[in-house]
């Protein structure tokens, strides 16, 4: 089945988006061009359901994994401590990055460097279905040092890459993790990162704090981080730092890509994740980071992480208890047997995925280990 071009979407500035498809019609279909690329059999618009599983696999420590289908989901401006490598299998995602909307269609990948502000939403009425891996900066740096000639801190040069082969590798990493195939999951992840760095890698720019505005923003960030649960008003913060409110607002936005209140919400969710990982309940984490109550945390957590905090924590507990637990094969994503997949609407209760959700085709063993494809 021929793959539709991933280069027809328009950016938010009137130009063409990189590597996506911006048509407002039926979502494009992926082909078998790359390993594990999805042969799609489902019309997303028919279900009206949003599903997501955000988890970790014990044999890939520090790497978050995500499978999701979103239709009405809107990710607010946020950042990640790790890299984002997201492969779209169906539909179109639009995310604002670097001052413009970026469009990602089937066979393409969204690539976001750590601490880089971005958003996310559907680019077609049917929404989008994708899989993502979130490797740590240390892991990516180690892979780059061993397999590339990049100098400095490695990262991705462009936020969108049209590469069905690499997209297929991402889906195979997720499948191998679901099947408990540690060797395949680790191998495929390293091959995928190597390929992406060779095709789209470069040194990350260092955030300058030498300017007066940069130093001011760094001081403000330090105060907000220290006083996260009880932050000052913008006027009080500016006065304490010896400047005006609008001067501080401009300096902070120029340095960190978002205003102080948006940065604070993002930082609160990050800290809440650490507290949940450590065993705090969602209610305890909400109060500890400065949210008024658990529903307040639920709302912001879901708009940044993609799942509610209760579902997030249950998956972390499953990882901790996985020593003697038999992992469910990934075919269960298709046959309704995967209990860790959650609906991401108004509930925190686990629910089974739609029977129409296809599993990723191919097998990790089908993939050659050469990162050059």
Instruction: Tell me the domain boundaries of the chain.
Output: 1-206, 212-316
Superfamily classification of domain 1-206: Regulatory protein AraC (2.60.120.280)
Q: Which CATH architecture has domain 212-316?
A: Orthogonal Bundle (1.10)
Antiparallel, parallel or unpaired: β 51-56 and 342-343:
antiparallel
What is d(CA 313, CA 41) in angstroms, rounded to the nearest whole number? 32
Chain-centre distance for alpha carbon 286: 22
What are the b/e assignments for 131-140, b being 16+ CB within 10 Å? bbbbbbbebb
What is d(CA 26, CA 44) in angstroms, rounded to the nearest whole number? 9
Which residues are CB-contacts of 182 (< 8 A; sequence separation ≥ 6)?
57, 59, 60, 176
- Mean pLDDT of residues grouped by 10 in the chain (373 residues)? 40 37 37 37 44 96 96 96 98 97 98 97 97 97 96 95 98 97 98 98 80 94 97 98 97 95 98 96 97 97 96 82 42 35 42 34 42 46
What is d(CA 49, CA 357) in angstroms, rounded to the nearest whole number? 11
What is d(CA 203, CA 135) in angstroms, rounded to the nearest whole number? 17
Say how many residues make up the chain: 373
Phi, psi of 360 (to 5 degrees): -75, 135
Find out whether 169 and 192 touch, Cβ atoms under 8 Å. Answer: yes
What are the b/e assignments for 339-356, b being 16+ CB within 10 Å? ebbbbbeeebebebbbee
pTM to 2 decimal places: 0.76
Chain-centre distance for alpha carbon 152: 24
Secondary structure element (H or E) that encloses residue 151, with its range: none
For position 321, what pLDDT does the model report? 61
Phi, psi of 243 (to 5 degrees): -145, -175
pLDDT 10s digits, 231-249: 999 999 999 999 999 999 9
């Amino acid at each position: 089945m021929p793959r539709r071009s991933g280069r027809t979407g328009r950016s938010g500035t009137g130009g063409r988006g990189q590597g996506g498809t911006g048509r407002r019609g039926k979502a494009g279909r992926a082909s078998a061009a790359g390993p594990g690329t999805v042969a799609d059999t489902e019309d997303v618009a028919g279900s009206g359901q949003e599903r997501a599983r955000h988890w970790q696999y014990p044999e890939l420590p520090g790497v978050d994994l995500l499978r999701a289908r979103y239709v009405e989901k809107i990710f607010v401006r946020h950042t990640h401590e790790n890299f984002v490598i997201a492969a779209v299998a169906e539909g179109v995602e639009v995310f604002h990055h670097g001052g413009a909307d970026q469009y990602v269609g089937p066979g393409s990948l969204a690539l976001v460097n750590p601490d880089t502000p971005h958003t996310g939403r559907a680019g077609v009425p049917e929404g989008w279905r994708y899989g993502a891996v979130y490797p740590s900066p240390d892991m990516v740096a180690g892979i780059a040092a061993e397999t590339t000639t990049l100098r400095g801190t490695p990262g991705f040069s462009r936020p969108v890459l049209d590469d069905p082969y690499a997209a297929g590798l991402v889906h195979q990493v997720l499948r191998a993790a679901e099947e408990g195939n540690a060797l395949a999951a680790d191998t495929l992840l390293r091959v995928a990162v190597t390929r992406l760095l060779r095709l789209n890698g470069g040194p990350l720019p260092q955030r300058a704090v030498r300017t007066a505005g940069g130093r001011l923003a760094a001081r403000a960030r330090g105060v907000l981080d220290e006083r996260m649960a009880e932050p000052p008003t913008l006027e009080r913060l500016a006065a304490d730092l010896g400047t005006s409110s609008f001067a501080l607002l401009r300096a902070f936005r120029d340095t960190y890509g978002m205003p102080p209140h948006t940065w604070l919400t993002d930082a609160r969710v990050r800290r809440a994740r650490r507290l949940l990982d450590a065993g705090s309940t969602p209610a305890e984490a909400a109060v500890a980071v400065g949210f008024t109550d658990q529903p307040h945390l639920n709302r912001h957590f879901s708009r940044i992480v993609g799942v509610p905090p209760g579902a997030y924590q249950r998956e972390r507990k499953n990882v901790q208890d996985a020593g003697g637990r038999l992992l469910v094969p990934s075919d269960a994503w298709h046959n309704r047997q995967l209990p860790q997949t959650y609906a991401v609407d108004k509930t925190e209760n686990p629910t089974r995925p739609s029977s129409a959700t296809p599993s990723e085709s191919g097998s990790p063993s089908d993939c050659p280990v050469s990162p050059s494809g």
